[in-house]
Structures are given as structure tokens and as C-alpha cells.
Structure 1
Amino acid sequence: MGFEQMGTDMGAELAWDDTIEKENEFILLPEGEYAFRVASFERSRYPGSDKIGPCNQAKIVLEVESPEGVASIRHNLFLHSKCEGLLCAFFRGIGQKKHGEKLKMDWNKVMGSIGRAKIGIRIYDGKKFNEVKQFIYPDEETTQPTTFKPGSF
């Protein structure tokens, strides 16, 4: 099932005394390039750090389909001038921004957006999890590196 056909499964409400059994299954994807869908978006506030001052923060969850099931990847975007390039990369990755053009960020169109990203593995506190390494821009062709061969043109 591609993300273009993926529905929005709202699930069902559980009663306080219902029986449950389905456990949360964490899926760790191997490093690589994957199609994703923005599954959720939450507006938040970042308190600041040594690198970035206090600012608005977008907490995004990307869903990636895999043979093991749907993997969820959390990705934070900081609305700060030091992170403007990362914001541009995200909006280019979901097809809202074109190279060299200005864009007024339209967060209302983020939910359900699809794109591609290079996903890596990060280890934190001894646990492995996936992270976005780079968004892939749909408005640019992916070119394979060429190998130089002396005497051939």
C-alpha cells in the first residue's frame, strides 16, 4: 500500500474496563531512503539551549511503510533563524517549497503530506532509533555518481 492510498484509521474508543492485548511494536528501519507520510504535527515551544534561543517548535511524526509494519519517526523543527535551512529542507521535501523561492510556511498543509527522506540510525542512552538525515527534494532529479574512465567520452 502506497502513501497515496493510505487511509486515516481513527481506531475505536476503549472503555475503562475493556480487555487489551495488542502491544506497541517498535520498528527500527535499516538506514536508507524511504517514502514517508506526515502522520502528526504538534505546535510546541522550545525553552532554548546553548545553541538556540527560545522559539516555536514543530513536533512531527513521519510514518514509513516497511515489511514489518509502519514505522514512526519523530522529527523536531525549530522555528529559529539558525534553523531556517532545515525548515526549507522539510518544506522542499514535502513539495511545498521550490528551490530559490520564498515560502510562507503553511502548517495547515503539513498533515498528510508525503515525501522521501534518507533515514539513519542514532544511538541515545544505549537505545537505537531512527532519525531523518536528509529530506529528498521532489523537484530535483537524483543523479548517480559517474566514474571517470580514461580514454572514454
Structure 2
Amino acid sequence: MTTPRETILTALADLLRTVPHVPVLRGEVLPERVSTAGLMILRDGEPGEPGVTLSPLRYHYQHRAEIEAVVQGADRDATFAALCASIGAALSADRTLGGHCDWIEAEAPRPVDLPIEGAASLKAAVIPAILHYSTADPLA
């Protein structure tokens, strides 16, 4: 049985896969090689404390998932900017993830340069994606 939370996270991963030429992993470790277009790793994140309404009982979440955006190469600043813009465009195109959640919004990334011994450095950032949804059960 797939829970609403898992359905939403799967829908988010599928939406991110619409960004052309950029691989999307879910919950994986950073691989040794990053494609020239970049890489995204979706982390499930934290659902946080829900708001609760009674009659009917509903738990309202603002779940904070994380999209790790990583690029490598000589033109990493431009590639990183393009990757972030592509992520924003994908999220804007389907704010409800096909009707699975109430709303999704991203927060601004905080990029960092990560030196790699013997290779071009990485430019990476965590982009928080806030998923607004409700469930009938906190374990769903």
C-alpha cells in the first residue's frame, strides 16, 4: 500500500525528471561522476509538526523535502543557474504534482563550491521544496 506521503514524493521525483538531460536520484549518495548538465538528488526531508483539524480528523503538513542540485565543470556557474531555473520552471508548471498535494513551493538555494581532489570542483546547493498536503493519518 502506497501512502499519500510516498505518492507525493514519487510525483515530485517524476516532475524533476522532466528537466532535460539531468539525472534525478532519490535518497542516493553523491556519485563519483556528475553529468555535464548536472545532477539532482531528492531527499525525503521532514514532514514537521502537522496542524490538526477535527471532524473529520485531518493532519495538515508543510513537508520540507530537499533537492540537492550539483554541477561540475569549467562553466559550473552558468550550468548551476540554468539547473536552478529549470527546477523552478518544472515546479511552477505543476504546483499540485498532478493533484497529489495542495501546493509546492521552493525556497532559494544557498550555493557552495566544493573542492574535489584531482578534479574540477563542484557547485552544489540544497533547494528546499515545501509540500503542503493533508492526510487522515500521521503515518500515511
Question: Is the TM value for this pair above 0.5?
Answer: no
Using structure 2 for the length normalisation, give the TM-score.
Answer: 0.28
Q: Report the structure number with the largest CA radius of gyration.
A: 1
Using structure 1 for the length normalisation, give the TM-score.
Answer: 0.26
